[in-house]
Amino acid sequence: MPDDFPRLRELLQHRIDLIADHAYRDQDAAAHLAALQKVSEEINAEHAACRENLPPRLNHFLTQASFSKALDYLTQDPSKGI
């Protein structure tokens, strides 16, 4: 799965990185919030664009806005049987 949906994986990772960037949030809370809103909209758009090709579990995570779970799903090692 790691090679599937690279743009979606990139956006999900970017969102998590933004959430973890406390310095950015503390320096400019409005810009930080705007960046989070933008990446969330991009995730939703990418989800809509590839929804028909997504595995059901990944689609569920994205539909429920469980973005950390979606990223975990996309980066799982298939040899580990997760």
Q: Is the Cβ–Cβ distance between 16 and 68 less than 8 Å? A: yes
* Structural domain span for residue 15: 6-75
pTM for the predicted model, two decimal places = 0.86
What is the tally of structural domains in the chain? 1
Give a yes or no: residue 66 inside a domain.
yes
Q: Determine the pLDDT at residue 47.
A: 96
Question: pLDDT tier at 7 (50, 70, 90 boundaries)?
Answer: very high
Give a yes or no: residue 40 inside a domain.
yes
Give a yes or no: residue 80 inside a domain.
no
Q: Determine the pLDDT at residue 82.
A: 45
Alpha carbon 69 to its chain's center = 9
Give a yes or no: residue 31 inside a domain.
yes
